[in-house]
Amino acid sequence: MNHDDLRYGNLKHMQTAWSELTPGEVHASWSGHLTACGKPVIEAKPVYESHPRDITCAECGATAVFDLNTAREHAKAVTEKYEASGAITHTFAFSFREDALVAIAPKAFEMRRKGDSWNKIATDFVLIAAPDKDGTSMFVGKVGMAIIDGLKESEFQGSY
């Protein structure tokens, strides 16, 4: 996922774009050179002709319609407690948060586009990623739910 802070949830300067690496798929770009998912752009629409409803790449869509930094901050609040207790290292916490965000945000984009509620997204996540009541599942569940809360809080309010 894109790590440029100016791009998260910033639809004002977004362009829909295409890449030779993914024929037929529509991406989001802010530079006209790379997509939000890191693929080279071969063509991009002007900003005024671009809309998030045209994006078919889930990773690009998630970058465009959610403020991923808000989701990161929500997850960080959860992992910091585990770091402070010595249960996990800072390096593990950072890596886990990023991996969870990369897994959850595109799926949330796809589900929201289909019209699914945030409650369904959260329920599906818990059933799949954290089905047990052991410590590991509880940790995964807390971090994932924090990310989902951050995505919900920062979601683009138009149609997509």
Helix (H, G, I), strand (E, B) or coil at 29: strand
Share the mean pLDDT of the chain: 92
pLDDT in tens, 56-70: 999 999 999 999 999
- Residue 158 banded pLDDT, cuts 50, 70, 90: confident
Phi, psi of 88, deg, nearest 5: -140, 160
Prediction pTM value: 0.89
Burial state string for 97-118 with b = 16 or more CB within 10 A and e = fewer than 16: beebbeebbbbbbebbbeeeeb
List, for residues 83-103, the tens digit of each pLDDT value. Answer: 999 999 999 999 999 999 999
- Tokens representing residue 141 in the block: 């569940």
Q: Which residues on adjacent β-strands are paired with residue 40?
A: 34
Judged against a pLDDT cut of 90, whether residue 124 lies above it is answered with yes
Q: What is the pLDDT of residue 1?
A: 53
